[in-house]
């Protein structure tokens, strides 16, 4: 039996396209609501003449009305041209993003993988000791973390582990940040992991409550279900019962992981900014501070596409993993 109909997939695809297009409009308009434009900053910094400023505005697509600028932006976007980034010496926005994207993907992949595994194991551990001191202690700690903003957690970890105890570096992605990237070696890979450790720890701790709470609550419910009593009556050991219960309880984690991916992206933006990590977050902060419209639009477009696709894929995967779910 087909659990995901073609009509549902088409409807979700149209919804995803609508969300992405809406994000394009919003990210185009919001930076332009602030007074001035990027060329004003360049004029103050480099003393451009009015003629030079006019030429630069034309190149950046800043001439004409907002509607004319938006139509021009869409035309370029269809061609795959996101425009030049004046913050990075008129380098194409696509090139700037492609240089920063691997660093962000590395952080997110590591953080999400560790967070999911750790959250599932802690959730199972707490559920098996539901109401006891260990469960209460872990739950209270998770609630405390959940109430703490990303930037607060990042600053605390930075101060304690980098400033006070000097365990991890304060910033950047590898030693000799301004040097030309060295050839890959075990020493270089170790250096990258060493610099990425603290940002990853921050993302793991900040994202842990979501996975933990879902797993703990689902495990607690399933452990009291009738099928568990039946399994025990049939002679299944405690370990085998736990495994079977966990297989059922883990299904919502699939959806929650994809949905929380958006929050992790936002957290990565903040974390990268605090640790001066050369990913998308650091690039976005630099672009905003310089009113670099093309770069801001390019980064937000990528974020909108990534988050929308993650939610779309999670819905489809959930139906395939859970035979009780049918999407029409």
CATH code of 111's domain: 1.10.3720.10
The count of C-alpha atoms lying within 13 angstroms of the C-alpha of 128, restricted to the half-sphere facing its C-beta, is 13
Q: At which of 36, 61, 85 does a domain end?
A: 85
Q: Are residues 176 and 252 in the same domain?
A: yes
269 lies in a domain? yes
Of the two residues 324 and 280, the one the predictor is more confident about is 280
pLDDT greater at residue 301 or residue 5? 301
Residue 326 covered by a domain? no
Q: From CA 66, how far away is CA 71, in angstroms rounded?
A: 9
**Assigned domain for 294 exists:** yes
Residues whose CB is less than 8 angstroms from the CB of residue 126 and which lie 6 or more positions away in sequence, other chains included:
134, 135, 138, 139, 212, 216, 219
As a whole number, mean pLDDT of residues 93-111 equals 90
4 strand-pairing partners? 327
pLDDT of residue 178: 43
Burial of 310 (0-12, 13-18, 19+ CB in 10 A): middle
Look up the domain containing 183 and give its range: 92-321
Residue 251 scores a pLDDT above 80: no
Judge if 34 and 180 occupy the same domain: no
Confidence band for 223, pLDDT divided at 50, 70 and 90: confident
pLDDT surpasses 80 at 40: no
Are 245 and 303 found together in one domain?
A: yes
Among the candidates 85, 107, 134, a domain finishes at: 85
Same domain, 57 and 137: no
In a domain? residue 49: yes
Same domain, 126 and 260: yes
On whether residue 163 sits in a domain, the answer given is yes
Q: Which of 36, 62, 85 is the last residue of a domain?
A: 85
Same domain, 303 and 228: yes
On the question of pLDDT at 327 being above 70, the answer is no
Counting the structural domains of the chain, the total is: 2
- 247 and 167 fall within a common domain: yes
Same-domain pairing of 122 and 153: yes
CB 56 within 8 A of CB 42: yes
Same domain, 81 and 183: no
In the structure, what pLDDT confidence band is assigned to residue 180 with cuts at 50, 70 and 90?
very low
Please write the tens of the pLDDT for every residue from 110-161: 998 999 999 999 999 998 888 899 999 999 999 999 888 878 888 999 999 9
């Amino acid at each position: 039996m087909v659990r995901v109909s073609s009509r549902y997939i088409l409807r979700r695809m149209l919804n995803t396209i609508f969300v992405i297009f809406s994000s394009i409009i919003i990210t185009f308009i919001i930076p332009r609501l602030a007074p001035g434009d990027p060329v004003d900053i360049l004029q103050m910094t480099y003393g451009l003449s009015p003629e030079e400023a006019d030429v630069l505005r034309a190149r950046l697509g800043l001439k004409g009305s907002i509607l004319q600028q938006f139509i021009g932006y869409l035309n370029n976007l269809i061609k795959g041209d996101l425009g030049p980034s004046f913050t990075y010496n008129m380098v194409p926005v696509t090139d700037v993003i492609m240089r920063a994207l691997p660093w962000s993907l590395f952080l997110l992949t590591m953080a999400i993988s560790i967070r999911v595994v750790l959250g599932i194991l802690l959730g199972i551990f707490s559920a098996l000791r539901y109401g006891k001191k260990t469960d209460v202690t872990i739950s209270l700690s998770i609630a405390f973390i959940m109430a703490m903003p990303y930037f607060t957690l990042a600053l605390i970890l930075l101060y304690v582990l980098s400033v006070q105890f000097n365990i991890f570096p304060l910033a950047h992605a590898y030693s000799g940040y301004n040097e030309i990237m060295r050839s890959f070696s075990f020493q270089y890979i170790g250096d990258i992991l060493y610099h990425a450790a603290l940002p990853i720890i921050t993302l793991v701790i900040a994202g842990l409550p979501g996975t933990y709470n879902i797993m703990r609550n689902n495990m607690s419910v399933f452990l009291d279900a009738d099928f568990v009593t039946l399994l025990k009556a049939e002679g299944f050991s405690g370990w085998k019962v736990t495994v079977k219960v966990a297989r059922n309880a883990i299904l919502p984690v699939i959806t929650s992981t994809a949905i929380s991916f958006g929050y992790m992206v936002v957290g990565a933006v903040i974390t990268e900014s605090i640790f001066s990590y050369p990913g998308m977050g650091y690039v976005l902060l630099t672009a905003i501070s310089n009113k670099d419209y093309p770069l801001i639009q390019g980064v937000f477009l990528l974020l909108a596409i990534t988050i929308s696709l993650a939610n779309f894929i999670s819905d489809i995967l959930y139906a395939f993993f859970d035979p009780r779910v049918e999407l029409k």
